[in-house]
Structure 1
Amino acid sequence: MDFEVIIDDSFSNVCVDDNINPTHNKYVLSLINDFEDGEWRYRKFQNFIWDNIAETSLSQKERDSLIDQSHSLLTAAAQNLRLTDKEKDISKGSELAEIILYGIMKHHYSALPVVPKIFYKQNAQDNAKGADSVHIVIEDNDYSLWFGEAKFYNNIEDARLSSIVTSVENSLKTEKLKKENSIITNVSDIEELIDDEELRNRVVASLSNKASIDDLKPKIHIPIFILHECEITENTDRSSELYNKKITDFHLDRANSYFKKQIKKISGIFGYGDITFHIILFPVPNKETIVDKFVKNVEHYKEQ
């Protein structure tokens, strides 16, 4: 992943408010794009979207069938993006943020995309409900389960952060988690992605509707990806230590505010301390420019 990581730490190490507790189960990741010829690198950013679009809009079998057919892959992926209701979906950047989160999950966390959500939003309505991304991370013959939230906002003031807390709270309801688990076990992608049969069987058994969600919570991670328009970035024309410092300070302030709100509202959920939360922040200079270019690219590939 060719974006610079300027924060990648436990929230307990970067928290600026001693009154926030618990902090042990929270992490902060901040990424930035760079500049060229006095401009933020829009093309590099768009390339990242299209390099990762198949992960979220095509099933594993579809991706496998189009190996070494890059143009066909992009065309097939574009067919599953929602352009029919622009006011509610693509023009707000919702799918764009989901795709970037998928790319970050793959390249930064080495995650497997077990439920490509844009594919299932297009093809099976029930499977679209719930998290914006569903991944499994395999490590040391064990696994963790990642249910992502992805947002693209014009700003990340406190009101925006409060709305995200509400989304996270809803995603952690037992019936929602059980629904996500049933989707994972009922789609075929998990069979294709986890080669180790013993581990795959263990994952499927733990996600069974008969299993208690309480036992699963220590394995649950909630990545909260916030792509956001940023005045600092808009008014910058080159990469520098000063720019990095300004974004670092701003993102730490926003992470501090977000987790303070989250703890106040949802820390009473049973097993809250067992769940791991990651706030992931990425600043852009202008949301409208990015979304308009993305929509034009989708329209182009849909016509192929």
Structure 2
Amino acid sequence: MSKVKFEIFLDDSLSKVTSVAQLKIAFNKRLLSFVNDFEDGKWCYQDFQNYIWDNITQTALSERERLSLTDQGFTALYEAAKNLRLTDKDKVGEGSEIAEIFLYGLMRQHFKALPVVPKIFYKQNSQDNAKGADSVHIVVDGSDFTLWFGEAKFYNSIADARLDKIVTSVYEVLSTEKLKKENSIITNVRDLDHLQIDAALKEKIKAALEPHHSIDRLKPKIHVPILLIHECKITAAAKDLTPEYRKEIIDFHRNRAETYFLKQLAKSGAVHKYSDITFHAILVPVPNKAEIVTAFTKQAKQLKSG
């Protein structure tokens, strides 16, 4: 498991940290803030890159492939790199795969989740499956489970205009049609069968995802992690995890999360049983997006070319 030096600045119910009256009763919303470390007065770029490559197989290879390559680290990276797209329709979306991989690592390590649809693998191999959530996981709790459908973005900023686009994207994922499609993918790709969980629980999960069952029954089990890796002037100017830096980031992330969830709340009528779903805003500041994307793309192309 990766030893990256991320520190959690915030991990709480948004209703406990916000000053916005409308959100005081919004117990289905959480805010999580992850910050990378500094060394020798510089942000740890290599640690961030290492984290991405340490977790790439979770989303770029199927469970069967991961199992077959358990003791073949470089081969696994090579096979994973072959499934990367490395291109985006526009500059705004550049680096989207980095965010997707980061979210898979975060889901595994922080939320103890099990990947049931390696999205980069299936996006590469089936355009039909590319639509929908950026990550799909199951979290097991004893004899029960929750379903996690994630959104992952890497932006130059998280200004209001960007937040509006994320609201639209999240609600598209939560449409009944898209949720049923995701459920059918979970049961059809068979990765669930390879997970080391109780057989009775596997059958319980499969039964709950049957297409003839109402999505309404699943809403209390649905979580939506919304990862926003973003270029940050505060982080670019920092040289250490000082109390001043910590306070600036916490205040900034609280403000952005409050603004985002107010925008989401304003359009919540689009989703039936909206209050049953749990949302997690996950913010990760970086000093320079272009430097991260360039380094990742260069390494990925080297691997893809053999």
Once residues 165 and 22 of structure 1 are traced to their aligned partners in structure 2, the CA distance between those partners, rounded to angstroms, is 20
Q: Indicate the residue corresponding to 2:72 in structure 1.
A: 69
Once residues 67 and 230 of structure 1 are traced to their aligned partners in structure 2, the CA distance between those partners, rounded to angstroms, is 37
Q: Indicate the residue corresponding to 2:48 in structure 1.
A: 45
CA deviations 1:190-230 (Å, max 9, x no partner) are 00014311100010010000100000000000000000000
**Stretches of structure 2 lacking an aligned partner (at least 5 in a row):** none
Q: Indicate the residue corresponding to 1:113 in structure 2.
A: 115
Q: Indicate the residue corresponding to 1:222 in structure 2.
A: 224
Identity of aligned residues (%): 56
Once residues 238 and 222 of structure 1 are traced to their aligned partners in structure 2, the CA distance between those partners, rounded to angstroms, is 32
How far has the Cα of 1:287 moved from its partner? 0.3
The one-letter code sitting in structure 2 at the alignment partner of 1:258 is: Y
> Residue 77 and residue 88 in structure 1: after superposition, are their counterparts in 2 closer, same or farther (change >3 A)?
farther
For residues 81-100 of structure 1, the aligned pairs below 5 Å read: 81-83=84-86, 85=87, 88=90, 92-100=94-102
Q: 1:26 aligns with which of 26, 29, 42?
A: 29
3-state secondary structure, aligned to 2:110: helix
Q: Indicate the residue corresponding to 1:186 in structure 2.
A: 188
TM-score in terms of structure 1 length:
0.97
Once residues 35 and 146 of structure 1 are traced to their aligned partners in structure 2, the CA distance between those partners, rounded to angstroms, is 31
> Residue 138 and residue 146 in structure 1: after superposition, are their counterparts in 2 closer, same or farther (change >3 A)?
same
Once residues 87 and 36 of structure 1 are traced to their aligned partners in structure 2, the CA distance between those partners, rounded to angstroms, is 35
Q: Indicate the residue corresponding to 1:302 in structure 2.
A: 304
Q: 1:131 aligns with which of 108, 133, 148?
A: 133
RMSD: 1.4
Once residues 90 and 170 of structure 1 are traced to their aligned partners in structure 2, the CA distance between those partners, rounded to angstroms, is 19
On the 8 A contact 1:131/1:171 being kept in 2, the answer is: yes
On the 8 A contact 2:152/2:228 being kept in 1, the answer is: yes
Q: Indicate the residue corresponding to 2:8 in structure 1.
A: 5
Q: Number of residues paired by the alignment?
A: 303
Q: Indicate the residue corresponding to 2:147 in structure 1.
A: 145
TM-score in terms of structure 2 length:
0.96
Once residues 161 and 289 of structure 2 are traced to their aligned partners in structure 1, the CA distance between those partners, rounded to angstroms, is 18
Once residues 165 and 86 of structure 1 are traced to their aligned partners in structure 2, the CA distance between those partners, rounded to angstroms, is 20
Q: Indicate the residue corresponding to 2:276 in structure 1.
A: 274
Once residues 71 and 268 of structure 1 are traced to their aligned partners in structure 2, the CA distance between those partners, rounded to angstroms, is 45
Q: Indicate the residue corresponding to 1:163 in structure 2.
A: 165
**Stretches of structure 1 lacking an aligned partner (at least 5 in a row):** none
Once residues 196 and 176 of structure 2 are traced to their aligned partners in structure 1, the CA distance between those partners, rounded to angstroms, is 25
* Range moving further from structure 2, 281-290 or 2-11: 2-11
On the 8 A contact 2:93/2:153 being kept in 1, the answer is: no
Once residues 218 and 196 of structure 1 are traced to their aligned partners in structure 2, the CA distance between those partners, rounded to angstroms, is 22
On the 8 A contact 1:229/1:284 being kept in 2, the answer is: yes
On the 8 A contact 1:91/1:292 being kept in 2, the answer is: no
On the 8 A contact 1:12/1:23 being kept in 2, the answer is: yes
